[in-house]
Structures are given as C-alpha cells and as structure tokens.
Amino acid sequence: MTGENTVRGDDTVRGDDTVRGDGATPAGKTVRRPEQLRSHQWYGTGGLRSFSHRARTRQLGYLPEEHLGKPVIAILNSWSDINPCHVHLRDRAQAVKRGVWQAGGFPLEFPVSTLSETFQKPTPMLYRNMLAMETEELLRSYPVDGAVLMGGCDKSTPALLMGAASVDLPVVFVPAGPMLPGHWRNEVLGSGTDMWKYWDDKRAGLIGDCEMSELESGLARSPGHCMTMGTASTLTAAAETLGVTMPGASSIPAVDSGHDRMAAAAGLRIVELVRQDRKLSDLLTREAFEDAVTTVLGLGGSTNAVIHLIAMAGRAGVRLTLDDFDRIARTVPVLANIRPGGGPYLMEDFHFAGGLPGFLSRITDLLHLDRPTVAHDSMREQLAGALVHNDDVIRTRGNPVAEEGGVAVLRGNLCPDGAVIKHIAAEPHLLKHTGPAVVFDDYKTMQRTINDPALGITPDHVLVLRNAGPKGGPGMPEYGMLPIPDHLLKQGVRDMVRISDARMSGTSYGTCVLHIAPESYVGGPLALVRTGDPISLDVEARTLQLGVSDEELERRRAEWTPPPERYERGYGALYNEQITQADTGCDFAFLARPGKVPDPYAG
C-alpha cells in the first residue's frame, strides 16, 4: 500500500506509485530524507547525547532497525479508567501503532490528561488549556516528527489541536466516536438530551424512581462520546472539516470495527505526512476555519464550538470572531435532523446516512474546496463521490431543518462583547420576549432557591444566573440551562428565557442565552441586573437589552464591589490571571499571543 517514492528508514523504495488517502505517498511529492527528520537531532548525530538517546532506547527493548532513520510518531492518548468517552482508546492506540509500523514509522504512546466531561469538577473547561499546554510542551520536548491525537470528549478535541497548532508538526486527529444509541422500554434515547427531558419529567411528577433507575442503565450503554449533536460530535465534525481527520472519521460509532480500521489508517497516514512535511499550518487556514464554522452551523451544533473554534483559530494565527459566526449563520441552512436541535435522529443514523462527507456534499457551494486535508490534496478531491443515503437524516437544501444556521450572536447593553443562543433548540414563541428578571448570584444559590414560592416565578420571567463565567464559575461550567421551577413543570411549562455568562451542554436545549461577555465576575453589565428589571430578547434582531437607563446603570456600577479571587495559589491562580473572555476563546493570554518558541537543543 506504499508508493514507489516512499522512503523507509533504510532509504529504500518500494511499490507502484499508487496515490491514495490511506497512507500512500503521491507520486512526485518531495520526500524527506532520514537526516531531515526532527528526531534525527536526538538519534542521528555523532555526539554523546545521541549515544545516550540510542542507549536508552535499547533499554526500552528496541532494536536499532526498529527506529533509527524512521519517522517517530507520538500517539497522544487521553484514555483513562474514568472517562467513558475514551475508555476504548487504549485499544485504538494499538491500531494506530499497527498502521505506523506498517508504513515504516516508529510509534510511541504518551498518556495525556483525560478531561472527562462526566466526572471532572468544577468543569473540564477549567483544564482545557492545561491539556493544550501539555500537548504543546510534550511534542516540543521529545524526539517527535509527527503526532496522532486521540480524543473526542468535549474539551479534548480543541485542547489537543490547540497545543499541536502551537508546535506545528504533521498531525492526524483520531476522534473517539459516538456511543451507541440509548434504549429504554420502547424508546431510543439520546445521552444528555433525554437525561434533561426525563429529569424534568421526574420533577413534574410524571415518572418515579423506578423509571429513573431503568434509565440509568439505558441512557449510555457503550464506550464513546454523546451520540447526539452535542459538543463532542460538533467538534469532531469541525475537526474533520478542518481536514485533520481521515475522511468520514468523526461519526464512526466508537464500537464499530470501522473505528479500528480508521485508527490504523491514521497511523499509516501520519508517517507519509511526516515524509511529505505536511504540517498542521498547511491545513489550519482562514478558509478551513470558515468551513468549520459553516459546518457547525449547518449541523445545528453546540454553542460551545463558538468558544473552542475561536481559540483554535487563534493558535493557528487566524483571527476568528463572533461576527464571523453570525455572518456565516445567515448563509447556511441547518440540514442535520439530529437531536437536540433537529429531529429524532442520532449520530449512528447520521453516519449511515452518509456522515460528514455526505453532509458536506450538500453545501459545497459554501465551502473552500481547494484547500488540502491530511488525506487528500484538496477538500474537493476528498468529497468526490460522497453520497447521502437518507434525505430525512441529512436534509436537502430544498427541505432544511431551518433556513439559517442554528446559533445566533446577540449584542446589546447586557452583552456589549456578545452572547450566543442556540435558537434552533428553543421554543419559537420565546425568541422575541420581554419579561422581568429573577436574579441568582451563583449556581448554589439558584439550586437552593429556584423552587421557593416566595420568588413568584411565572413563565414570563427571565431567569438570570451570574458569576458563572470563565473566572466566576470558575471555568465557565455548563450551568446555562437553568432549571425551570417545579411548580411550572407541573403546569406543563418546558421552556423559559434564561440568560447567563455560563455555557451549556451541547446536548441541552431551551431558550438559553449564553457566554455573556464580559462576564459579571469582572464587572460586566450582568453584574448590575436586579430582580424585577425588564429584559428583552429579540433573536431576529440579534439583540439582548436590559430596560434600565444608562444613568441608573452607572449609579449601580459605582456601588458594585469586585468579588474575591477564587484561587490563592496553584493552577487555579494561573488560570484566573491569564484566562480571556468567552468572545475571544477563553485561552490563556500568554499562550494566545503571537511569538516564536525555539525547538530544544538536543545535542
């Protein structure tokens, strides 16, 4: 499967010049010689240090023939025993290694932070930048020529790609893949989405503890990330559109044998990318990020992708803004009929309906097709022959789920630097609404008091949560889908206008205005809202306004006192010092700024 121009560690050639996206080197491509590899600085020079590196590699049990002169491939594996999204990646790493060996490379597996969305507190968003730093410094400090990044749970995809972009080596991303659909009695369940639904049903008295116990065992029944179009599926689809995965990789179910084959193909391909010196910067262009935004909006994807794509683009030297999202949203229809933003379908349905290649084949006029991917010389070539096999799962342009992209960007005196809403997942009658605020100063207070009859909450009220942003959360937890009071659930109310500086799960739904910037914790206008103040939401006009005069807001600002710092030491103190706001991606300022970092001297 390797072309005639492929150079092995012994500088010989083999094959018949075939050109494929599965690891073959295209004829006529420039092929790097062993002494041009980055790892040569560790292994190939004549000094004492290279002698020591070779001796320690013998200590690991490797023969010289197994690694000398071959591309060294780091496999960054975010597997752990407490991350159900990634629990199968220990096995998938073996498939990647198989592919690397087959292509003539030398694989080395590195464990990295796991960022388990389901267990890590206060939120893995607090640690996204830590994994990005770990990725960057690990790839920079070891004898690595290229990398396969293994992740998929919400924050792991952007973290791995942010770190890798800052180093700029050849990279292939292996998505963890969605879990199998959930099942309960005669219903197909979507993780997250149906959790919220049935939890509200329990609070409304419609089901009891026995049903909830059954749901516990049926909601998530295999390895893999959420099988709805939540944050995980949204971001792995964005990664595929960026061109850093094997074609079709983002929707392969985690337990499908095709996932194993995809991992092996990634191992084959990364070796050839190293030989061709096709770096991540060749792929992560302005055009690629615009196409990723188009994809997210056309999928009806998670609002979290707004923050992550802005941060990822920044690491690649591309300035992406909220205005780009709003501009593109007005040009792309929602075609993915998938929970929670669309219809009844889940990611396995999407995969067998044609997956992302099928989806992209329906919006090619909105894409930049002449940019390269890890597998092909152009996205046009990658999408050649892509088909859709179910027009209800992946809709036609003439029958969209929605005429415009599923996320809108709002502006106004409550969010001068912007806010977002996934309006495709909201009740239509609430998309233009004015009501009095009920303000909660923090999430714990909200949990303790939301059902207090003395608050007098009606369906017309606007629930406001503050101090839940990047610094205030801390880490901007997924608190944005504020619970509806029990007494309203029992009356059949299932949606209200809710606003916060928090995020919400991509599996969530409802009229939730999120990512208000600047956040209340640093003195943003949300800090000045009082219970009873009128708030007006108008999604069509893209506005969010607090009905209080500028003079009154200035008076309140003069009375406002900054809250105490969350952390006095440790990583949390670094986080508070360096974290940027939601509209600029919540990266660390010292990581986001431009500048060069030299490769270490290995001699």
Tell me, what's the pLDDT at 28? Answer: 52
Assigned domain for 527 exists: yes
Q: What is the pLDDT of residue 29?
A: 67
Rounded CA separation 559/553 (Å): 10
- Clarify whether residues 108 and 40 are in a common domain: no
Share of the chain above pLDDT 70, in %: 95
The band of 120, judged by pLDDT with boundaries at 50, 70 and 90, is very high
The reported pLDDT for the residue numbered 30 is 75
End residue of a domain, out of 368, 383, 398: 383
Are 464 and 498 part of one and the same domain? yes
| Same domain, yes or no: 368 and 495 | no
Cβ contact 95:267 at 8 Å: yes
- Dist. CA 27–CA 547, nearest whole Å: 65
Cα separation, 42 vs 90, whole angstroms: 28
CA distances to 90, 124, 186, 222, 425 from 87, in Å: 7, 17, 28, 10, 30
> What residue ranges in 379-451 does DSSP mark as E strands?
408-412, 415-421, 432-440
Mean pLDDT for 284-300 is: 98
Mean pLDDT, residues 80-94? 97
Residue 17 has pLDDT above 50, yes or no: no
**Residue 327 falls inside a structural domain:** yes
Whether residues 249 and 115 fall in one domain: yes
Residue 438 confidence (pLDDT) above 90: yes
With b meaning 16 or more CB within 10 Å and e meaning fewer, what string describes 242-263? Answer: bbbbbbbbbbbbbbbeebbebb
The maximal CA–CA distance of the chain, rounded, in angstroms, is 80
Instruction: Look at residue 20 and tell me whether its pLDDT is greater than 70.
Output: no
41 belongs to a structural domain: yes
567, part of any domain: no
Q: Are 475 and 443 in contact (CB under 8 A)?
A: no
What is the span of the domain harbouring residue 465? 408-559
Residues 118 and 265 in one domain: yes
Digit-coded pLDDT (tens) for 473-509: 999 999 999 999 999 999 999 999 999 999 999 999 9
Structural domain contains residue 303: yes
Of residues 547 and 4, more confidence is placed in 547
Return the beta strands (E) in 422-516 as ranges.
432-440, 462-465, 497-500, 512-514
Per-residue pLDDT tens over the stretch 547-590: 999 999 999 999 999 999 899 999 999 999 999 999 999 999 99
Q: Which of 538, 559, 580 is the last residue of a domain?
A: 559
Give the tens place of pLDDT for each residue, 177-189. 999 999 999 999 9
Beta strands 432-440; 534-538: pairing state = antiparallel
**pLDDT tens for residues 447-460?**
999 999 999 999 99
Per the listing, tokens 């890590």 go with 120
Looking at the structure, do residues 99 and 133 belong to the same domain, yes or no? yes
Amino acid at 19: V
47-70 mean pLDDT: 97
Domain end, chosen from 68, 88, 119, is at: 68
pLDDT tens digits, residue range 193-247? 899 999 999 999 999 999 999 999 999 999 999 999 999 999 999 999 999 999 9
Residues 338 and 458 in one domain: no
- pLDDT of 276-285, one tens digit each? 999 999 999 9
pLDDT at 343: 84
Closest CA to 504 of 472, 477, 522: 477
Q: Per-residue pLDDT tens for 137-193? A: 999 999 999 999 999 999 999 999 999 999 999 999 999 999 999 999 999 999 988
Q: Is the pLDDT of residue 13 over 60?
A: no
Residue 246's domain is classified under what CATH number? Answer: 3.40.50.2300
- Supply the CATH number for residue 550's domain: 3.50.30.80
Res 3 pLDDT > 60: no
136 domain residue, yes or no: yes
- Express as a percent the part of the chain with pLDDT over 90: 93
Which tens digits make up the pLDDT trace of 300-350?
999 999 999 999 999 999 999 999 999 999 999 999 999 998 689 999 999
How many Å apart are CA 338 and CA 345, to the nearest integer?
5
- Do 101 and 174 reside in the same domain of the chain? yes
**What mean pLDDT value characterizes the chain?**
94
Rg of the Cα trace of the chain? 25
278 close to 372: Cβ distance less than 8 angstroms: yes
Report how far residue 22's alpha carbon sits from residue 270's, in angstroms, rounded to the nearest whole number: 10
Is 577 within a domain? no
Q: Do residue 61 and residue 76 come from a single domain?
A: no
Question: How is residue 418 written in tokens?
Answer: 């912007």
One domain for residues 365 and 462 = no
130 and 245 together in one domain: yes
Query: Residue ranges of the alpha helices (H) in 44-172?
Result: 48-59, 64-67, 89-102, 128-141, 156-167
Does 581 reside within a domain? no
Predicted model pTM: 0.94
**Tokens 């977002």 label which residue?**
420
Q: Helix 304-315 vs helix 231-242: angle between axes, to the nearest 10 degrees?
A: 30
* pLDDT value at residue 24: 43
My answer on whether 308 and 436 are in the same domain is: no
Domain count, the chain: 3
The confidence score (pLDDT) of residue 22 equals 41
